[in-house]
């Protein structure tokens, strides 16, 4: 792999972690749009840990993930009486508010961002962390709590009637979402060497939605495939860093992504790549790949993971 | 005391911006339960179209302003007919995500044309600056605050008294029942979206007339305040948005004046969170109300 | 007379049909649930026809299908010979005068009493312009229910349940209905109030020659004011007869057994025991 290909994959995998965080928060029925902010908080925390305390990368990752998860939990508690689109709106406002506040805090480097973070992130770190995130989510979905969360995500009243605590589900939804987004943030900070307030801005938020919408909202795989697929798509639209692609130049890729997102919502609201969940059936020790890339729809392929 | 009054005057102008974007946003929510994330972008679209028509195409200020406002209305109409109407009306979350995409699309499309720059905006008219016993204000500010009051009170009265306003309130309260009394709910929703967009466009021009600059991503900061005002007032309350918007502008201005700009966002955000904890339906209630 | 189709023949005069509404093989589905199955019924012009049945029988579903606000239904619905089954709800109201007074409190609670009535007038005016014959004005409605005049500037949410029901009926009358569909006006109201509302309804409907399809769970009172009645059981019409005949039919009471025996009067349960 050329360094260019490596770097594109690295970035895509970093984003896939944030998108997985978005996936699990949405799956828990909490419509939150603040994962860019949670990512940024993880990035600041991990970056500070690396710069101030010179901790190894693995520890930075833990610090970032922990901080973002903590912030997620606080959000879940503060917003426990808000839900639906209103919750979404409020999380946008909080994300933007935190971003603007970060830009005003000189101790965090102000609007210039927090500099001098060691460039530790590489493809190995990114893919390793993404793998941990993905497997973690797949396993979590099979636990009692995970199943309860998915049930509550579908229908809160039904979940409540069978004795699932909605507050607990919410807290876990935000906690896991923060955790994954925080991991992405630490990797991002150590990839760019800095973390900026604009990384937290609401302006980036649609990007993660595009990844997830394209990948599919029903499984963690959607977050992974969507991030890699869309990130490569925009690289192609960028046409390798310079020049023109058909009538488009590289400034066009963002609005094209916005258009892709709108059309996806209209045409396939559950996402493009994956639709039905990819069911892992531990008793049969098989992956039933339903609907991945549309190629395997309805077919089963055995696969030991 | 002079400082205090000065901050209040500046705060009224800032608050007017909040009011002008929030009343449309809150109206659309009241009528169709849609939180339109792209709403504040219409403000930006109007200003850039104004710039293009008035300056680059040399059509002059008046035609430019008309084109800007019309463009905001047109984008609103397209948003309604081409995006919202294509989505199952029970999928409010899908609609919300779609408006998120529209917002990203609009911002980056405009950004591409202006090379991601902040542009200077020519004033709509030559503002006079006054200096009365050490208080500074301009005709631009007066026009902004005056227009805001006229538009917000006008909208509220229109909802209260006009036939279409009554139909709008009926749709807002109960869409199913509205259909039973043969109200054309789609038409009413379209009117609400377009009206809201036009008001956002007018707001954009009036505000740009005092700030004299605009950038493609200005909506992100405006949206934050818009959400805060709407939530504190109670999403759907037009009268509430007027009161809360002006109030927030003044408090922000005082806070920034006395304590520094890092506190600017904290006020709106803090108020929003406290309201959500204490009175989630907002100070003025939930649905479209004029009382 | 048990077969609804034979009832149809009896009602036709030579040449001019006395039938206003003619429903044939109506079915209503909610996803996999089939709420109404192959229902056929007629509503004669200028009279009150009752549709009775236990809770969950599908009465509201039929009315909602006639008004055009159910997600899925099949069958033909003819009003004065014109098939309206494919028309959207709005057109059925404006062009054909099919007006539904919905179950529960069918008023806009955040709007004033007068505003609620104005919404009806707005449609009524359009219907009159199209040549509608049944016409009411505000004055008449206020005379029927004087309380509405007193409460004109109050929001409907501050009205009692009975007053809200009066408001809903009044608004529907102002819409110049050619066919008025009334869904359980008695729901949740005190008996004396039910009596009053039914008295006013039967007087005004007769006087103004309104065609009415009345849905009620309270069969006693419904059969008093209706001339003809259908009994609906689990989505199917099981009896069709003049009210006086249906009232005496033991099957009427059986239909309510278990499901809604509590709402029947005391002597009804004695009868039920006899039937067992
Ligand atoms: N919106 C709906 N979705 C699913 N099922 C419904 C809906 N409305 C009614 N039903 C079902 O259809 C049947 C008939 O209901 P309804 O017409 O309301 O009966 P009635 O008015 O006679 O009490 C019931 O079993 C009810 O559960
Ligand atoms: Mg019913």
Nearest CA to ligand 1 atom 7: C30
Ligand that lies nearest to the alpha carbon of residue C234, given by its number in the listed order: 1
In tens, the pLDDT along C33-83 reads 889 999 999 999 888 999 998 888 899 999 999 999 988 899 999 998 889
Residues B75, B197: contact at Cβ < 8 Å? Answer: yes
| Cβ atoms < 10 Å from Cβ of A90 | 25
- Residue C259 in any domain: the answer is yes
Lowest mean pLDDT among B50-59, C13-22, C182-191, C265-274: C265-274
CA distance B225 to chain A (A): 8
Non-local (6+) Cβ contacts of B96 within 8 A are A31, A85, A88, B34, B35, B37
Torsion of CA B47, B48, B53, B55, to 10 degrees: 90
Q: Which of B176, B181, B185, B289 to mutate to test the interface with C (most CBs of C within 10 A)?
A: B181
ipTM above 0.90 for this complex:
no
Q: In ligand 1, which atom is closest to the CA atom of C103?
A: 21
Structure confidence at residue C258 (pLDDT)? 43
Which CATH number goes with the domain that contains C249? 3.40.50.300
Residue whose C-alpha is closest to residue B101's, from A188, A45, C203, A33: A33
The Cα–Cα gap between C22 and C45 comes to 11
Q: Chains with 3 or more CB pairs closer than 8 angstroms to A?
A: B
Residues A139, A209: contact at Cβ < 8 Å? Answer: no
Query: Does the beta-carbon distance from A31 to B272 stay under 8 Å?
Result: no
Which residues in chain C have their CB less than 8 angstroms from residue B287's CB?
Answer: 110
- Residue B41 backbone phi and psi in degrees, to 5: -65, -25
Mean pLDDT of chain C: 83
Structure confidence at residue B289 (pLDDT)? 46
In this structure, are strands C236-242 and C228-233 parallel, antiparallel, or unpaired? antiparallel
Residue whose C-alpha is closest to residue A285's, from A304, A262, A261, A258: A304
In this structure, are strands A248-249 and A244-245 parallel, antiparallel, or unpaired? antiparallel
Q: Counting beta carbons within 10 angstroms of the beta carbon of residue C139, is it exposed (0 to 12), middle (13 to 18) or buried (19 or more)?
A: exposed
Nearest CA in chain C to B291: C110
**Domain B2-119+139-282 bears CATH identifier 1.10.3470:** yes
Are C196 and C92 members of one domain? Answer: yes
Residue whose C-alpha is closest to residue B183's, from B201, B171, B196: B171
- Residue A77 backbone phi and psi in degrees, to 5: -70, -45
Q: Is C80 left (phi over 0), alpha (psi -120 to 50) or beta?
A: left
Are C152 and C237 members of one domain? Answer: no
Query: Does the beta-carbon distance from B262 to A261 stay under 8 Å?
Result: no
The Cα–Cα gap between A150 and A168 comes to 13
The tokens for B15 are 């608050």
Query: Does the beta-carbon distance from C175 to B177 stay under 8 Å?
Result: no
Nearest CA in chain A to B95: A265
The tokens for B5 are 């009054």
Q: What angle do CA A92, A94, A96 make, to 5 degrees?
A: 70
Non-local (6+) Cβ contacts of C4 within 8 A are C40, C41, C42, C230, C237, C240
**Strands, DSSP E only, in A125-237?**
none
The tokens for B176 are 């199913």
Are C92 and C21 members of one domain? Answer: yes
Nearest CA to ligand 1 atom 24: C56
| Cβ atoms < 10 Å from Cβ of B91 | 13
Q: Is the shortest distance between the CB of C30 and ligand 1 below 6 Å?
A: yes
- Residue C106 in any domain: the answer is no
Structure confidence at residue B280 (pLDDT)? 76
Range B128-131 contact pairs with CB under 8 angstroms and sequence separation of 24 or more: none
In tens, the pLDDT along C223-240 reads 888 989 999 988 888 888
CA distance A68 to chain B (A): 19
The Cα–Cα gap between B15 and B225 comes to 10
| Cβ atoms < 10 Å from Cβ of A9 | 18
Q: Counting beta carbons within 10 angstroms of the beta carbon of residue A215, is it exposed (0 to 12), middle (13 to 18) or buried (19 or more)?
A: buried
Residue B128 pLDDT grade (very low, low, confident, very high; cuts 50, 70, 90)? confident
Residue whose C-alpha is closest to residue C106's, from C34, C170, C13: C170
Q: What angle do CA B44, B47, B53 make, to 5 degrees?
A: 135
Give the H or E element holding residue C233: strand C228-233
Could you list the residue range(s) of the whole structural domain that residue C149 is in?
Answer: 111-160+169-177
Mean pLDDT of B220-224: 84
Are C63 and C41 members of one domain? Answer: yes
**pLDDT exceeds 60 at position B264:** yes
Which residues in A274-285 are b (16+ Cβ under 10 Å) and which e? bbbbbebeeeee
Residue whose C-alpha is closest to residue A178's, from A16, A300, A20, A53: A20
- Residue C218 in any domain: the answer is yes
Are C120 and C35 members of one domain? Answer: no
Are C195 and C207 members of one domain? Answer: yes
The Cα–Cα gap between B49 and B45 comes to 6
Query: Does the beta-carbon distance from B262 to A257 stay under 8 Å?
Result: no
Torsion of CA C28, C31, C32, C36, to 10 degrees: -10
Q: Return per-residue pLDDT of chain A as tens, 305 residues.
A: 788 889 999 999 999 999 999 999 998 888 888 899 999 999 999 999 999 998 899 999 999 999 999 999 999 998 888 877 788 888 888 888 888 888 888 888 888 889 888 888 889 999 999 999 999 999 998 888 888 888 887 777 777 777 778 888 889 999 999 999 999 999 999 999 989 888 887 778 888 988 988 888 888 898 999 999 988 888 877 665 555 555 566 678 888 888 988 998 888 887 777 665 544 444 443 343 333 333 333 333 333 33
C109 touches chain B (CB under 8 A): yes
Ligand that lies nearest to the alpha carbon of residue C62, given by its number in the listed order: 1
Per-residue DSSP letter, B289: B
Query: Number of structural domains, chain C?
Result: 2
- Residue C276 in any domain: the answer is no
Are C12 and C66 members of one domain? Answer: yes
From residue C13, alpha-carbon distances to B268, C83, C118 in Å are 73, 21, 39
Are C187 and C246 members of one domain? Answer: yes
Helices (H), C28-70: 59-67
Which residues in chain C have their CB less than 8 angstroms from residue B289's CB?
Answer: 110
From residue C140, alpha-carbon distances to A212, C149, C178 in Å are 60, 11, 18
- Residue C105 in any domain: the answer is no
The tokens for B107 are 């911002």
Query: Does the beta-carbon distance from B280 to A90 stay under 8 Å?
Result: no
Are C37 and C86 members of one domain? Answer: yes
Structure confidence at residue C63 (pLDDT)? 94
From residue C163, alpha-carbon distances to C145, C207, C211, C218 in Å are 9, 22, 23, 19
Nearest CA in chain A to B281: A82
Are C196 and C173 members of one domain? Answer: no
Q: Is the shortest distance between the CB of C102 and ligand 1 below 6 Å?
A: no
Q: Which residues surround ligand 2, an ion (CB under 5 A)?
A: C 60, 103
Nearest CA to ligand 1 atom 3: C30
Which residues in chain A have their CB less than 8 angstroms from residue B235's CB?
Answer: 86, 89
In tens, the pLDDT along C118-174 reads 999 999 998 888 887 777 888 988 998 999 999 989 999 999 888 999 999 999 999
The Cα–Cα gap between C29 and B120 comes to 60
From residue C41, alpha-carbon distances to A175, C4, C8, C235, C256 in Å are 59, 6, 8, 13, 21
Secondary structure of residue C28 in the 3-state scheme: strand
Mean pLDDT of B6-18: 91
Mean pLDDT of B34-38: 89
From residue A139, alpha-carbon distances to A217, B42, C92, C96 in Å are 17, 44, 54, 59
Q: Tell how far the Cα of C56 is from the centroid of ligand 1, in angstroms.
A: 6
Per-residue DSSP letter, A107: G
- Residue C252 in any domain: the answer is yes
Instruction: Count the residues in chain B.
Output: 291
Secondary structure of residue C240 in the 3-state scheme: strand
Residue whose C-alpha is closest to residue A49's, from A148, A163, A185: A185
The Cα–Cα gap between A38 and A72 comes to 7
B90 touches chain C (CB under 8 A): no
Are C126 and C243 members of one domain? Answer: no
C117 touches chain B (CB under 8 A): no
Residues B31, B171: contact at Cβ < 8 Å? Answer: yes
Are C197 and C81 members of one domain? Answer: yes
The tokens for B271 are 């108020």
């Amino acid at each position: 792999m050329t360094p260019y290909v490596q770097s594109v994959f690295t970035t895509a995998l970093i984003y896939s972690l944030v998108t997985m965080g978005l996936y699990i928060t949405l799956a828990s029925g909490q419509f939150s749009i603040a994962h860019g902010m949670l990512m940024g908080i993880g990035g600041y925390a991990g970056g500070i840990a690396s710069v101030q305390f010179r901790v190894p990368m693995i520890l930075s990752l833990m610090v970032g993930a922990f901080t973002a998860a903590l912030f997620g939990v606080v959000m879940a508690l503060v917003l426990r009486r808000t839900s639906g689109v209103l919750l979404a709106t409020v999380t946008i406002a909080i994300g933007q508010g935190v971003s603007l506040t970060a830009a005003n805090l000189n101790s965090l480097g102000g609007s210039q961002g927090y500099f001098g973070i060691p460039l530790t992130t590489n493809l190995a770190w990114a893919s390793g962390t993404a793998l941990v995130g993905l497997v973690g989510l797949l396993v979590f979905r099979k636990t009692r709590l995970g199943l309860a969360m998915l049930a509550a995500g579908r229908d809160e009243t039904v979940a409540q009637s069978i004795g699932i605590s909605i507050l607990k589900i919410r807290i876990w939804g935000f906690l896991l979402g923060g955790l994954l987004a925080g991991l992405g943030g630490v990797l991002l900070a150590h990839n760019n060497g800095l973390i900026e307030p604009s990384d937290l801005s609401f302006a980036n938020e649609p990007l993660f939605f595009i990844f997830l919408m394209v990948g599919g909202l029903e499984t963690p795989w959607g977050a992974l495939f969507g991030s890699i697929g869309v990130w490569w798509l925009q690289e192609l639209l960028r046409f390798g860093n310079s020049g023109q692609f058909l009538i488009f130049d590289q400034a066009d890729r963002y609005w094209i992504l916005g258009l892709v997102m709108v059309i996806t919502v209209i045409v396939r609201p559950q996402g493009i790549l994956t639709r039905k969940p990819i069911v892992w059936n531990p008793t049969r020790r098989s992956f039933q790949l339903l609907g991945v890339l549309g190629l395997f729809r309805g077919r089963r392929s055995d696969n030991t993971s | 005391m002079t400082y205090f009054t000065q901050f209040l005057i500046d705060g009224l102008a800032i608050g007017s911006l909040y009011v002008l974007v929030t009343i449309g946003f809150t109206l659309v929510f009241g009528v169709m339960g849609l939180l339109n994330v792209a709403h504040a972008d219409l403000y930006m679209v109007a200003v850039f179209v104004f710039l293009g028509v008035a300056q680059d195409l040399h059509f002059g200020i008046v035609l430019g302003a008309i084109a800007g406002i019309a463009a905001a209305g047109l984008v609103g109409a397209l948003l309604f007919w081409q995006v919202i109407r294509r989505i199952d009306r029970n999928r409010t979350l899908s609609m919300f995500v779609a408006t998120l995409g529209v917002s990203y699309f609009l911002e980056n499309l405009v950004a591409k044309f202006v090379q991601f720059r902040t542009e200077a905006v020519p004033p709509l008219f030559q503002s006079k600056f006054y200096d009365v016993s050490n208080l500074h204000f301009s005709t631009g500010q007066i026009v902004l605050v005056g227009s805001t009051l006229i538009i917000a009170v006008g909208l509220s009265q229109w909802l209260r008294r006009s036939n279409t306003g009554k139909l709008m309130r009926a749709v807002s309260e109960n869409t199913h029942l509205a259909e039973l009394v043969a109200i054309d709910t789609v038409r009413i929703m379209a009117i609400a979206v377009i009206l809201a967009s036009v008001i956002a466009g007018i707001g954009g021009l009036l505000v740009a007339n005092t700030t004299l600059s605009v950038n493609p991503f200005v909506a992100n900061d405006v949206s934050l305040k818009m959400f805060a005002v709407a939530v504190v007032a109670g999403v759907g309350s037009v009268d509430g948005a007027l009161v809360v918007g002006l109030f927030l502008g003044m408090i922000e201005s005082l806070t920034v004046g006395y304590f520094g700009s890092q506190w600017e966002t904290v006020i709106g955000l803090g108020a929003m969170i406290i309201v959500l904890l204490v009175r989630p339906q907002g100070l003025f209630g939930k649905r479209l109300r004029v009382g | 007379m048990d077969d609804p189709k034979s009832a149809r023949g009896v009602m036709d005069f030579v040449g001019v049909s006395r039938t206003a509404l003619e429903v044939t093989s109506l079915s209503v589905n909610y996803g996999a649930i089939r709420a109404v199955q192959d229902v056929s019924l007629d509503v004669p012009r200028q009279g009150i026809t009752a549709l009775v049945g236990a809770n969950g029988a599908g009465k509201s579903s039929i009315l909602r299908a006639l008004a055009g606000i159910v997600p899925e239904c099949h069958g033909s619905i003819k009003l004065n010979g014109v098939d309206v089954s494919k028309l959207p709800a709005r057109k059925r109201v404006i062009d054909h005068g099919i007006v539904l007074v919905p179950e529960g409190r069918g008023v806009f609670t955040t709007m004033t009493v007068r505003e609620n009535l104005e919404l009806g007038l707005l449609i009524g005016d359009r219907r009159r312009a199209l040549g509608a014959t049944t016409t009411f004005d505000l004055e008449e409605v206020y005379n029927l229910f004087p309380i509405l005049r007193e409460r004109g500037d109050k929001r409907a949410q501050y009205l009692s349940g009975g007053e809200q029901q009066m408001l809903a009926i009044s608004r529907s009358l102002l819409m110049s209905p050619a066919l008025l569909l009334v869904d359980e006006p008695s729901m949740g109201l005190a008996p004396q109030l039910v009596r009053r509302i039914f008295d006013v309804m039967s007087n005004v409907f007769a006087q103004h020659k309104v065609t009415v399809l009345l849905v009620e769970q309270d069969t006693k009172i419904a059969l008093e004011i209706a001339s003809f009645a259908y009994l609906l059981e689990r989505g199917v019409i099981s009896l069709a007869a003049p009210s006086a005949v249906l009232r005496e039919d033991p099957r009427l009471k059986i239909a309510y057994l278990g499901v809604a025996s509590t709402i029947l009067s005391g002597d009804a349960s004695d009868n039920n025991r006899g039937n067992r």
